[in-house]
Amino acid sequence: SYELTQAPSVSVSPGQTARITCSGDGLSKQYAYWYQQKPGQAPLLVIYKDNERPSGIPERFSGSSSGTTVTLTISEVRAEDEADYHCQSTDSSGSYWIFGGGTKLTV
């Protein structure tokens, strides 16, 4: 199996753009997903299929993919965006999920 690597933390000021990256060999072949998780809450899917937003997720959240690295971009960051962000993909056969270690976004 392979691993997904995320930086432990990212810090931005309100109104700026936050970019959170996730690296892994399998990301060039399998889709990536991003979850936002606030303290005491279940994860919330904010990006699926590399760059699609589920219904109800603000347009400020976007995803992109390049080779073995995927990026979650949050534009015009707000205080409410402060949370842990987890990337996720699947193994090469698409049989099971793999998560990154998570990135704490501080606003």
Partner 1 sequence: QVQLQESGPGLVKPSGTLSLTCAVSGGSFRKTNWWTWVRQTPGQGLQWIGEVFHSASAVYNPSLKSRVTISLDNPNNQSSLRLTSVTAADTAIYYCASVHYFDSGAYFQIDSWGQGTLVTVSS
Binding residues for partner 1, per CB under 8 A?
1, 31, 35, 41-45, 48-49, 54, 86, 88, 94-102
Instruction: Return the number of the residue (47 or 77) whose C-beta is nearest partner 1.
Output: 47
Give backbone dihedrals phi and psi of 11, rounded to 5 degrees, phi first. Answer: -130, 130
Find the shortest distance in angstroms from Cβ 78 to partner 1.
23
Q: How far is the CB of 82 from partner 1 (least distance, A)?
A: 17
Angstrom CA distances, 95 to 1, 23, 26, 60, 98, stand at: 11, 19, 13, 31, 10
Report which residue type is found at 65: S
User: Which residue, 7 or 44, has its beta carbon nearer to partner 1?
Assistant: 44
User: What's the rounded Cα separation, in Å, for the pair 95 and 37?
Assistant: 24
Identify which of residues 13 and 95 has a Cβ nearer to partner 1 in the complex.
Answer: 95
CB of 47 to partner 1, least distance (A): 11
Rounded to 5°, the CA angle 52-32-79 comes to 65
Nearer to partner 1, 26 or 102 (CB): 102
